[in-house]
Amino acid sequence: MAKFWLISVAALVCSGAALTLTLEAQGAADSATVPNFAPDDSTGWVPARPEGDEFLPPQSGPGPVAAEQGHPYVPNAQGQPTYLIADLSNPVLKPWVIERLRKANDEVRAGNVPFIPHERCWPGGVPGFEVYTRVRPIYFLQTPKKVTIIDELDHQVRHIYMNVPHSKNLKPSWYGESVGHYEGDELVIDTIGLNDKTFVDNYQTPHTDQIHVIERFKLADGGKTLQATVSVEDPGAFTTPWNAIQRYRRFEQTVAGSSVANLPMLATPEDGPLIEAICAENPNSLMGLEALPVPQTVKPDF
C-alpha cells in the first residue's frame, strides 16, 4: 500500500466551497496586519522565475548550494536544458555532505538522470518544499488555529499549527512538525522533527534529523509577490546556519503569457482553484533509467 496518500480538494474543504480565508487576532498580532495569502479560491503562487526550483541567495552571509561555476542550470523551455551540478566549494558544507554531492555531480556528468523528488513521487520535506516545483502553484488555507499549504504537484500538504509550542519527543517524519505565528505582516513557521530521507534542495544536498528550519512568508509589491525567507540550521550537516530566499508571483499573473502557458502538461494557464495533479506511480517502466523507486510500505501507518 502506498505510504503517501493522495489528498484531494474534497478532503480539505466541502465540495464546491471556495478556499476562503478566516482572519482573526492571533495572540499579540494585530489582525489588520495579518497577511492574506488567499483572498479568493483562484489565488495560488508559483516561483517568480524560470529557475524557481532552486533557492536564491540572501543579500549577505552564508547561503544555499548553487550551481558550479561553468555549469549553469538551464530549466526546460529556457534553451538547452541542463541538470543541476552543485558547487562543492560552499563553506557551509561538512565533508560528508560534500562527498554526497560529489557523487550526485558525478552521476550527472556520466550522463545519468539525477534524482528529483517530485519526479519519483517523493515528499519534498522542509525546506525542499519551497523548491519542489517550478510551475505548479502552492495554495494557502488560513484559519486561526492552523495554516495549510498545498502544492498542487502531487498534492504535497503541510500543516502549520498556530500559536502552540512544539511537541516533546517527536518521531522524525517527512515534513516534521511545523508551528507558526504571525509577526506583524509575516507568517513565521518553525519546523523540527524532520527525518533524514529528504534533501534541502534539488542538488541533493542531504541533512540530518537535527535540522531546524524557520520560514518567513511575506507579501510584497502590493500583494503581487510572496517572499519566503528560509533559515536552516543543522550542526550534523552544515558548518554554520545559512539563509535562502524563494519568491513567488500570483498564479494567474505568472502563468498567463509566459513560456509556461505553452506547456499545458505542466501548468494550467487559466485562472482557477486547485486542480487534481496526481503523481502516478509507473511500476512497469522507468524508460530504461536507473531511478529510486516510489517509496512504499508493507503495512498501514494507521
* pLDDT tens-digit series, residues 281-292: 665 555 555 666
Bridge partner list, 186: 183, 218
pTM for the whole thing?
A: 0.81
H/E element holding 228? Answer: strand 225-233
Predicted pLDDT of residue 261: 36
Average pLDDT, the chain: 82
CA atoms within 13 A on the CB side of 106: 6
Nearest to 54 by CA among 93, 35, 82: 82
Predicted pLDDT of residue 101: 98
Helix (H, G, I), strand (E, B) or coil at 118: helix
Q: How many CB atoms lie within 10 A of CB 173?
A: 15
Predicted pLDDT of residue 48: 93
* pLDDT tens-digit series, residues 189-248: 999 999 999 999 999 999 999 999 999 999 999 999 999 999 999 999 999 999 999 999
Predicted pLDDT of residue 189: 98
Question: How far from 176 is each of 54, 110, 125, 200, CA to CA, in Å?
Answer: 21, 34, 8, 13
* pLDDT tens-digit series, residues 62-77: 999 999 999 988 887 7
Share of the chain above pLDDT 90, in %: 58
Residues 6+ apart with CB under 8 A from 149: 129, 138, 139, 140, 141, 157, 158, 160
H/E element holding 104? Answer: helix 95-109
Predicted pLDDT of residue 268: 42
Rounded to whole angstroms, the Cα distance separating 192 from 256 reads 37
Q: With bands split at pLDDT 50, 70 and 90, how would you rate the model's confidence at 11?
A: very low
7-24 average pLDDT score: 39
Rounded to whole angstroms, the Cα distance separating 118 from 64 reads 20
